[in-house]
Amino acid sequence: MKKDSKIYVAGHHGLVGSAIVRKLKDSGYENLVFRTYEELDLERQARVEAFFDQERPEYVFLAAAKVGGILANSQFPAEFIYSNLVIQTNIIHASYLYEAKKLLFLGSSCIYPKHCPQPMKEEHLLSGYLEPSNEPYAVAKIAGIKMCQSYNRQYGTRFISVMPTNLYGPGDNFDLKTSHVLPALIRKFHEAKIGGDKSVEVWGTGKPRREFLYVDDLADACLYLMNNYDENDIVNVGVGKDQSIWELAEMVGKVVGFKGDLRFDHTKPDGTPLKLLDVSKLTALGWHADTPLEEGIRRAYQWYLEQL
């Protein structure tokens, strides 16, 4: 990308899109295009194509998606599969029709099989059954990957796909019914501290292990890959280290300053037992994540406090 290239960030209000915009601006890219939901409903194909016809973006970051935690995925499976399939299809196809130079599609680590060997390598895609709690979302993301690869093969486009691990940071969703675990724990510990509660409820057994990437690190990786990666194969983006939900809860409690106990609610689902990405491909390409987890949680908590 040149500093004056026209760059469209789809989903610029979201956790990932807003971090990509911050990173682009900080890096001196000045010709950025966005549309709010009110201005452009990405589920309407004709409107998306009219927007591409008018703006002709050269580079596209496809960070628009319907996302949510374990409960939201099981409660709204139709919305997760429909919205993601339609949004990504509209943007990928319009990028082809209106000759975008390059597109970066954001997938997710949940595309890998439930019982995938750990850490999960890019080649494990489609090698086993998916985790049922987020299968509709994962199937949509897998369709997006295959669409990018198929367009590259048939039309000679340059559409790359990036698979981030669990993300967190400024701009996260802190609604306890739909959020992922990390923002949920920040909020629960904060409210317990303020309310003087003796304990905090953590869903499941606390035994599943998850890897967490600070969203500004992901944005940095996305710019790096947009500028330096041109192959058809997907690329994992993570930190290469995981911890149990139990350990995570203890760390969040420490950052927030909550001194009470953890109470595990076994009626809530654990989800997939392990979800650690193999990041050796990205490391070999010359990129690694910078933000230690505790530091990232501190920044995310600070952002949460500023929103209150």
What positions carry a catalytic annotation?
A: 137
Q: Using the minimum distance from each CB to ligand GDP, give the nearer residue, 251 or 285.
A: 251
Residue 46: which H helix or E strand, with range? Answer: helix 45-55
Under 8 Å CB-to-CB from 235, ≥6 apart: which residues? 122, 160, 161, 162, 163, 225, 229, 281, 282, 285
- Helices 245-256 & 181-195 angle (0-180, nearest 10): 40
Q: How far is the CB of 239 from ligand GDP (least distance, A)?
A: 15
What tokens were used for 282?
């990205």
Q: Using the minimum distance from each CB to ligand GDP, give the nearer residue, 23 or 180.
A: 180
Q: Is 263 annotated as a binding residue?
A: no
Q: Using the minimum distance from each CB to ligand GDP, give the nearer residue, 83 or 108.
A: 108
Query: How far, in Å, CA of 104 to CA of 81, rounded?
Result: 20
Q: How far is the CB of 129 from ligand GDP (least distance, A)?
A: 15
What 3-state DSSP class applies to 278? coil
Q: How far is the CB of 203 from ligand GDP (least distance, A)?
A: 4
Q: Using the minimum distance from each CB to ligand GDP, give the nearer residue, 107 or 208.
A: 208
Chain CA centroid to CA 274, Å: 17
Q: Is 180 annotated as a binding residue?
A: yes
Q: How far is the CB of 208 from ligand GDP (least distance, A)?
A: 4
Q: Is 204 annotated as a binding residue?
A: no
Q: Is 57 annotated as a binding residue?
A: no
Q: How far is the CB of 161 from ligand GDP (least distance, A)?
A: 19
Q: Is 296 annotated as a binding residue?
A: no
Q: Where do we find the tokens 């915009």? A: 21
Residue among 162, 184, 219, 176 at smallest CA distance from 20 = 219
Q: Using the minimum distance from each CB to ligand GDP, give the nearer residue, 23 or 114.
A: 114
Beta bridge partners of 33: 8
φ, ψ of residue 252 in degrees (nearest 5): -65, -40
The Cα diameter of the chain in Å comes to 61
Q: Which residues contact ligand GDP by CB under 6 A?
A: 69-70, 110, 134, 166, 179-181, 184, 202-204, 208, 210, 245, 268-271
Q: Using the minimum distance from each CB to ligand GDP, give the nearer residue, 110 or 142.
A: 110
| 93 contacts 148 by C-beta, under 8 angstroms | no
What tokens were used for 160?
């790359």
Q: How far is the CB of 61 from ligand GDP (least distance, A)?
A: 23
Q: Is 141 annotated as a binding residue?
A: yes
Residue 223: which H helix or E strand, with range? Answer: helix 215-228
What tokens were used for 238?
């993570």
Q: Is 68 annotated as a binding residue?
A: no
What tokens were used for 251?
């760390």
φ, ψ of residue 68 in degrees (nearest 5): 180, 170
Binding residues for NADP(+): 11-17, 106-109, 141, 164-167, 180
Binding residues: 11-17, 106-109, 141, 164-167, 180, 188, 203, 210, 270
Binding residues for substrate: 188, 203, 210, 270
